[in-house]
Amino acid sequence: MYDYDVPDQTGKLIVVTGANSGTGKEATRRLAAAGARVVMAVRTPAKGEAARAEILARHPAANIEVRRVDLADLTSVRDFADRIIADGTPLDVLVNNAGVMAPPTRMTTADGFELQFGSNFLGPFALTVRLLPALLAAAAPRVATMSSGTANYGRIDFDDLQWERRRYRPNLSYAQSKLADLILTRQLAAIAAEEGWNLLSTAAHPGFTRTNLQSSGPSLGRDKPKRSPLEAAYLLPSQGVEQGAEPLLYAATSPEAEAAGYYGPSGRFGLVGPTGPARTTKRARDTATNTRLWTQAEHLTGARLPVLTA
């Protein structure tokens, strides 16, 4: 039925952000079906509980719980991470899936960051860094982060990361945030290698997967729903969420996934099909840029690498 079979996850604790819909819900379902205990990290708990009930209807033995986190609010991110750490259970996998796509006007997070850069990159960055103590307590921890094919035309503008000087461009802002996610993946992999951590940092993109992401973002701040220009490109091949979640599941669980590996659909135009390696844009492979963005993210979020004692 599926191109990718999730290996046995029995005994593992996995956090999935944006787990109430789309690729996040599908990833949660299949990880739980494979035996993992999954924490559904969602902004709206009621929606999370509804998704949890749907999954339990198909998999009554699934071990899943809903916890609130708003990636557009760094206080919420800190509180969520603190609670996971306080539980005292090693965290085997963090799946950074949640995101917002192309709101029509420049909007801001609770901390004043441009919404896409804040929600898609700074929030997941802070969550990842704050959860490192729990991750590094696990035997073979992983962080799998969702990027996008739009990262290929993204640019990191260090002079205007928040789109305060330039005219706000929804799709270019989204592309910048998703390029930043690729950079997060690669820089975390580099840090893990340098520190000698047994932590695997990977990334994925879903190709052109039909989810509510294409409409929810462009509809923000509008009275009537609006579709993304991408979704209007009906001539492009697209796929359902069952297939679209597989690159992320592969990045999160496959024994074949590699450090800094990037995975996506291998079919037409890289938009559909079975999971395979994806090309990492040159802009995500610049060591100086990656180090600079990580340092900037630490400054903006206040989240810094833990000092670990032997």
Cα 168 to Cα 50, 105, 156, 303: the distances in Å are 35, 7, 14, 27
Beta bridge partners of 96: 145
Active site residue 174: yes
Catalytic residue among 4, 174, 234, 262: 174
Type of residue found at 224? K
Torsion region of 171: left, alpha or beta (phi above 0 gives left; psi -120 to 50 gives alpha): alpha
Q: Which pairing describes strands 275-277 and 262-265: parallel, antiparallel, or unpaired?
A: antiparallel
Q: Could you give the residue numbers annotated as active site?
A: 174
